[in-house]
Amino acid sequence: MLSRLKLGLVLSTSALALMLSVKPMTPAFAASASGNSESHSTAGGGVSSSSSHSDGTANGAGASVSSDGHATAHTEGAAGNTADSSASTHAGATGNDTSTDTATADTENAGVFNADGSVTAGVDMVTSGAGASASGSASATSQTDDGTVAAVGLNGSSTADGEAHGHAFADGSTDTFSDDTSAYSASTADGDIEVSTAGGGSISGTASADASNTATTNGTDGAASASSSASIDLSAASVGDGSASASAHVDSNSTGTVDTGSRTASTDSFAEGNATADNSGPGTSASASGTGDAASEAGIDDNAASSSSSVNPSVAVSTPAN
Q: Three-class SS of residue 59?
A: strand
pLDDT at position 142, please? Answer: 92
For the segment 107-124, the average pLDDT, to the nearest whole number, is: 80
pLDDT of residue 110: 72
Question: CA-CA distance, 306 to 224, in Å (whole number)?
Answer: 9
Q: Is residue 5 part of a domain?
A: no
pLDDT at position 116, please? 65
Binned at pLDDT 50, 70 and 90, residue 9 comes out as very low
Predicted local distance difference test score (pLDDT) of residue 144? 87
b (16+ CB within 10 A) / e for 73-112: bebeeeeebbbbbbbbbbbbbbbbeeebbbbbbbbbbbbb
pLDDT in tens, 125-166: 999 999 999 999 999 999 988 889 999 999 999 999 999 999
Beta-carbon count within 10 A of 173 CB:
22
Per mean pLDDT, which range of 43-57, 90-104, 223-237, 250-264 is the poorest? 90-104
Distances (CA, A) of 119 to 140, 202, 235, 310: 6, 23, 15, 26
Mean pLDDT, the chain, integer: 89
pLDDT (mean) for 69-88: 90
Residue 1 lies in a domain: no
In whole angstroms, give the CA distance from residue 258 to residue 223. Answer: 7
- The DSSP element (H or E) to which 11 belongs, if any, is helix 2-21
Residue 108's pLDDT is what?
A: 83
Q: For the chain, where are the E strands, in sequence order?
A: 32-44, 47-59, 64-76, 82-94, 100-112, 119-128, 132-143, 149-178, 182-216, 223-239, 242-259, 264-280, 285-300, 303-311, 314-318
What pLDDT is recorded for position 11? 37
Q: Is residue 140 part of a domain?
A: yes
The predicted pLDDT at position 114 comes to: 57
Residue 3 predicted with pLDDT over 80:
no
**How do residues 254-302 score in pLDDT, each as one tens digit?**
999 999 999 999 999 999 999 999 999 999 999 999 999 999 999 999 9
Does 17 have pLDDT greater than 60?
Answer: no
16 located within any domain: no
Q: Which domain holds residue 208?
A: 39-318
In a domain, 29, yes or no: no
Q: What is the pLDDT of residue 115?
A: 57
- Inside any domain, residue 15: no
In a domain, 13, yes or no: no
What per-residue string of b and e applies to 292-304 under the rule 16 or more CB within 10 Å gives b? bbbbbbbbbeeee
Mean pLDDT of 100-125: 82
Average pLDDT of span 9-20: 39
pLDDT digits (tens, 9 = 90+) for 39-77: 999 998 888 999 999 999 999 888 999 999 999 999 888
Asked if pLDDT for residue 237 goes beyond 60, the answer is yes
Q: Which pLDDT does position 118 carry in this prediction?
A: 87
Could you tell me if residue 33 is inside a domain?
A: no
Mean pLDDT of 98-105: 85
Query: What is the torsional sign of CA 247, 207, 118, 138?
Result: negative
- Asked if pLDDT for residue 315 goes beyond 60, the answer is yes
- The number of distinct structural domains making up the chain is 1
